[in-house]
Amino acid sequence: MVGQIICNISNLYRVKYGDKYIECTARGKFKNENLKPLVGDKVIFDKEKKLIIELLPRKNELLRPPICNIDQALIVMSAKEPNFDLYLLDKMISIINYNNINTIICITKLDLLSSEEGNKMDEYIKYYQKLGYEVLTNEQTEKIHSLLKNKITVLTGQSGVGKSTLLNKLDNNLNLKTSKISHALGRGKHTTRHVELLETRNSLIADTPGFSSLDFYNMDKESIRDSIIEFENFKEECKYRDCFHLKEDDCKIKELVNDGAILKSRYLNYQKFLKEKDDEVDQNIRIRSIKKR
Ligand SMILES: Nc1nc2c(ncn2[C@@H]2O[C@H](COP(=O)(O)OP(=O)(O)O)[C@@H](O)[C@H]2O)c(=O)[nH]1
Ligand SMILES: [Mg+2]
Ligand SMILES: [Zn+2]
């Protein structure tokens, strides 16, 4: 029979088939083949033996959170408490882009902004919408429902931004615990929660442990550059092939940043990403040379 893993607790896998569930273990052969069943895997299983026999090919997979066959990511970002963070937003967008996953952005806690701050936020929202991303607020629950329908969505965002609150708003049967912010921020680091796909109105959502440190894993500098959608859009206009839009003279992208057509913060964040990548490489070299001695 064919089903889909929706939860993994200590290598006991909950498999959903139709509207039924079964708890299965995985055969030893997976260990030998260096394959580990992941939440999101479509599997062939033996109902009598309660055993996963085979994993079907994956569409994609993420390392952290460990999950596969994802259709889209819902980035939850608070306007305040914790502060709106364009660096983190751009980083999440780039990593998600690179993994060929669709991005939806949901802004929470707009009620905490002054009207002046609200206007600034509207500008950001418009900019990211113009790039082609869905940007919504946590008040737009029906719209969010329609975007989630029949899809697997990973929910990402820092602790305390309101992910669980949003899910409860979408479906109060989920009844998830929400935490006061100070508590939530302190807690995130210490508990490793398991990954689980929650079901609501024909959609599957992973409420992942809030990432605090997000990194570019296997992305090299080229793929970081190519994950910035504006650069891709204006690529033909830059006179250099393979331009990194940094020190190059007469670079069209730099001109567009100066004109304000490309949001300055996006460009500065891109520079930070490359710097991080350099630091990461430096660090690896240092570790290697220490090992040699
Ligand atoms: N003012 C305000 N508070 C919110 C909003 N959404 C969530 N919160 C509060 O933010 C805190 C953290 O929410 P929670 O859902 O636990 O965040 P999570 O860690 O991302 O799951 C809780 O105290 C929520 O009540 C919102 O839109 N406005
Ligand atoms: Mg939560
Ligand atoms: Zn350029």
Residue 14 in domain? yes
- Domain harbouring 8, CATH code: 2.40.50.140
The 3-state DSSP class for residue 46 equals: strand
Domain shared by 237 and 178, yes or no: no
Q: Report how far Cα 133 is from the mean position of its chain's Cα atoms.
A: 14
φ and ψ at residue 180, rounded to 5 degrees? -60, 145
Determine the atom of ligand 1 nearest the C-alpha atom of 81: 10
The residue among 284 and 62 whose pLDDT is bigger is 62
pTM of the model: 0.87
Domain shared by 180 and 112, yes or no: yes
Q: Are 206 and 5 in contact (CB under 8 A)?
A: no
Domain shared by 196 and 114, yes or no: yes
Q: Residue 107 forms beta bridges with which residues?
A: 77, 137
Q: Residue 67 forms beta bridges with which residues?
A: 39, 62
Determine the atom of ligand 1 nearest the C-alpha atom of 112: 1
Residue 212 in domain? no
- pLDDT tens across 111-162, in order? 999 999 999 999 999 999 999 999 999 999 999 999 999 999 999 888 899 9
- pLDDT tens across 196-239, in order? 899 988 899 987 664 544 677 778 999 999 999 999 888 888 87
Ligand 1 contacts CB of residue 184 (under 6 A):
yes
Residue 114 in domain? yes
Residue 185 pLDDT more than 50? no
Write the DSSP assignment of 3-42 as a string of letters: EEEEEEETTEEEEEETTEEEEEEE-THHHHTT----BT-E
Please give the order of strands across the beta sheet that includes 203-207: 134-137, 102-108, 72-78, 152-156, 203-207, 197-200
How many Å lie between the centroid of ligand 3 and the Cα of residue 271? 13
Ligand 1 contacts CB of residue 168 (under 6 A):
no
Task: Give the residue from 71, 93, 210, 97 showing the smallest Cα distance to 153.
Answer: 71
Domain shared by 189 and 111, yes or no: yes
- pLDDT tens across 89-111, in order? 999 999 889 888 899 999 999 99
Residue 192 in domain? yes
- Domain harbouring 164, CATH code: 3.40.50.300
Residue 214 in domain? no
Determine the atom of ligand 1 nearest the C-alpha atom of 76: 20
How many Å lie between the centroid of ligand 2 and the Cα of residue 38? 21
Q: Residue 155 forms beta bridges with which residues?
A: 74, 207
> CA distances (Å), 96 to each of 31, 72, 207, in order?
28, 8, 16
Domain shared by 193 and 229, yes or no: no
How many folded domains does the chain comprise? Answer: 3
Domain shared by 229 and 141, yes or no: no
Domain shared by 77 and 192, yes or no: yes
The domain in which residue 8 lies consists of: 2-58
At residue 180 the predicted structure's pLDDT band, cuts being 50, 70 and 90, is: low
- The closest residue, in CA terms, to atom 24 on ligand 1 is 162
**What is the amino acid identity at position 50?**
K
Domain shared by 277 and 154, yes or no: no
Pocket test for ligand 1, best of 170, 178, 185 (most atoms within 8 A of CB): 178
